[in-house]
Amino acid sequence: MTTQPQGGIDYTHETNLYAGVWTANYGNGNGYESDLYGGFRGSAAGIPLDAGMIMYRYPVASRIMMPPSVTAVWIVLRLLLWRH
């Protein structure tokens, strides 16, 4: 097993918007993954929420093994349904 370099950087603005990038090598250094993401974390009508999008990119991936990119979107609402 070999160690592969990886790293990322995130930024959050005072308006609760955030963005970031993360990258890592895989496959013994033969390829890399680069993830780009952004979203909003705050509240709407008093309900905490997180909404965003991430793109997983594999620029040198074999198109037979995996697509060159995959995109996902999420919305998370945190509701308090019961309090003891």
Please answer whether residues 35 and 9 qualify as being in contact, where contact means their C-beta atoms are separated by less than 8 angstroms. no
The tens digit of pLDDT for each residue in 17-50 reads: 999 999 988 766 677 889 999 999 998 888 889 9
Q: How far apart are CA 75 and CA 16, in angstroms?
A: 15
Q: List Cβ neighbours of 59 (8 Å cut-off, separation of 6 or more).
A: 31, 32, 34, 68
| Overall pTM > 0.75 | no
In DSSP notation, 27-44 reads: TTTTEEEEEEEEEEEEEE
